[in-house]
A and B are shown apart, each in its own frame.
Chain A
Amino acid sequence: MAKPNSQTWRIITIHAGLLAYSAFALFPVLLIILNSFKDRLTIFSAPFALPDAETFTLDGYQTLSSTAHFELFFLNSFLVTASSLALIVVVSSMAAFALAEYKFRLNFLTGLYLAIGIMVPIRLGTVGILRMMVELHLVNTLWSLILIYTAQGIPLAIFVLTAFMRQLPKDLKDAARIDGASEYRIYWLTLPLVRPAIGSVLAISMLPIWNDLWFPLILAPGESTKTLVLGAQAFLGEFVNDYNAVLAALTLAILPPVLLYFVFSRQLIRGITAGAVK
């Protein structure tokens, strides 16, 4: 018999625990954003104060826009992420359709071969990747990144999409076949039915691509091909003592993933759990 009193205490304890951890999770992020709008003196003398009319400044953002090409870096990140995601979804949904729809001799082995990449990090092949990109003259191009990120995203995308496509009812596709639809047409017709799974694939593939530092650093470090994360990294290293500029750069770099997260949080949560169920 739980007394209402002990139940209330239980709920209060849970709230207290979660509230405390939430504060711990948000504190550094808020501190950065807050101080990026304050003048240099106040950043040091009153780091926890809100910016007011007197201490408010955009100095850091001005330094940023006058010294680094953050618009260009942002565009690069956007192009790389969007192109990789588009490629991942197109080629993975095709492969997943084949694996889920047809019985053929190498079905299981092909699935297994494609699944290796879920656990083996693509980074371990970096020496080979760099050598290949040099030979293909793709170093310092966005294409080098797009191709690598597509290859990196394919295994998990196929895994999630295949599991989802296997659950689609057979009757629908058989009805289309009787009507004389080609297999390509049937693939095209199933795509809208797996939209939730495609959403999950987009959400789980997006952030690792956007946030990556390793491959931009190695394959495309040139000024015109820097991604936002690499650009921020270089800028932070260079302006390490200019707190206004550093805080402004951090704030700008925090915003895009947070916005993406707000738009895609449902798909992201579903995707994380779908990808790890097996």
Chain B
Amino acid sequence: MRRRRFVRVHILVFLAPAVLIYTAFMIYPLFDSLWLSLNNKGATANQIFVGIQNYQTLFGQEQWSKPFWNALRNNALFFLIHMLVQNPVGLLLAALLGARIRGGAIYRSIIFTPTILSVVIVGFAWKLILNPAWGISRSVLAAVGLSALDHPWLGLESSALVTLSLISVWQNIGIPMMLFLAALIRIPEELMEAARVDGAGVWKIFWKIQFPLILPTVGIVAVLTFVGNFNAFELIYATQGALAGPNFASDILGTFFFRTFFGYQLQPADPFMGSAVAGIMLLIILTGVLIYLFGWQRRLQQIQY
């Protein structure tokens, strides 16, 4: 008992640096932001408490609500495309790599390469490739007989967001691929062998044995995609600028948040409204995380035990 008390000082010394840095530079600013979202400039340019007025402005005044809903809608589509393209294709690549063929490690490294690059670099590289002035996409499409698909994809309101989403998929596919692969190779080979002996085909083995066993990873990939997408900014900023053109067609919450609190060109910086936007983003992300923790993970645990 006496020894326990003696130990406590060490515990404090060990924990203090990490807890202090984390609290001061991550948790405190988050709460400070939430507090700022409940304040605004007073008559004499001082800060006064205004309750939920900023949020009312965000949802009630058209000059705010229109761009906000536009960004949220775009962000939802951005996320949907990742869920429908990035994660299934990532799973497919993982399944191919999981077959343990020769050269698997080389394929894996190559496919992961875009993931390690800066979004700025990736965005700009694709911008060049898709730029009609250089004509790369035109000649590639002509070579495979798809000339009809040649458009200035990033320049059109109708296609900019989908194109950017696919560029982001191209870059980030390495993460789901790695996570799915790690889950697939943990499945004991005997399980699949037994099914094969019973005459099950590759397709049936995948859906009846492998897929149910990697469901926990499916959940992790989904929640990581959700948090990453609703917090995205760099790709849009690097390729389309802070105005997320053309005509805000590629504006997502990250770029909307940036313009609001930091200001851009004619729009003055507004830390109070910016905090309110961050507050809504926090709410969206927390909702997603909680659905994952209590909806998905809980249910899986119930099935397992």
B253 to chain A, nearest CB (A): 10
Of the listed stretches B56-64, B147-155, B274-282, name the one at the interface; the rest are far from the partner chain: B274-282
Given contacts A124-B278, A127-B261, contact A92 B114 (CB under 8 A): no
Cβ of A131 under 8 Å from chain B: yes
Number of interface residues of A (CB under 8 A): 87
Given contacts A25-B110, A119-B289, contact A47 B136 (CB under 8 A): yes
Q: Which residues of A lie under 8 Å from residue B17 when comparing CB positions?
A: 90-91, 94-95
Of the listed stretches B7-15, B75-83, B207-215, name the one at the interface; the rest are far from the partner chain: B7-15
Cβ of B28 under 8 Å from chain A: yes
Cβ of A68 under 8 Å from chain B: no
Of the listed stretches B65-73, B123-131, B244-252, name the one at the interface; the rest are far from the partner chain: B123-131
* Cβ–Cβ contact B14 & A187, under 8 A: yes
Bound together, the chains give a CA A48 to CA B15 distance in angstroms of: 56
* Cβ–Cβ contact A257 & B124, under 8 A: no
Selected contact of A154 from candidates B21, B117, B136, CB within 8 Å: B21
Bound together, the chains give a CA A218 to CA B31 distance in angstroms of: 19
Cβ of A184 under 8 Å from chain B: yes
Cβ of B305 under 8 Å from chain A: no
Bound together, the chains give a CA A117 to CA B217 distance in angstroms of: 20
User: 1/0 contact trace for A8-42 toward B, CB 8 Å?
Assistant: 00110011011101101110110110000000000
Cβ of A79 under 8 Å from chain B: no
Q: Which residues of A lie under 8 Å from residue B8 when comparing CB positions?
A: 104
* Cβ–Cβ contact A183 & B10, under 8 A: yes
Given contacts A114-B22, A132-B32, contact A15 B129 (CB under 8 A): no
Cβ of A64 under 8 Å from chain B: no
Bound together, the chains give a CA A22 to CA B254 distance in angstroms of: 30
Q: Which residues of A lie under 8 Å from residue B119 when comparing CB positions?
A: 211, 213
Cβ of B19 under 8 Å from chain A: yes
Q: Which residues of B lie under 8 Å from residue A2 when comparing CB positions?
A: 196
Q: Which residues of A lie under 8 Å from residue B121 when comparing CB positions?
A: 229, 232, 250, 253-254
* Cβ–Cβ contact A26 & B224, under 8 A: no
In the complex, what residue of chain A is closest to B231 when comparing beta carbons? A121
Cβ of B162 under 8 Å from chain A: no
* Cβ–Cβ contact B134 & A47, under 8 A: yes
Binding site for A on B (CB under 8 A): 7-8, 10-11, 13-15, 17-19, 21-22, 24-33, 36, 92-93, 96-97, 99, 101, 103-104, 107, 109-114, 116-122, 124-126, 128-129, 134-136, 139, 170, 175, 178-179, 182, 196, 202, 217, 220, 223-224, 227, 231, 233-234, 237-238, 254, 257, 261-262, 271, 274-275, 278, 281-282, 285-286, 289
Top 7 nearest A-B pairs (CB, nearest first) are A128-B29, A128-B32, A125-B29, A98-B14, A151-B25, A95-B18, A211-B118
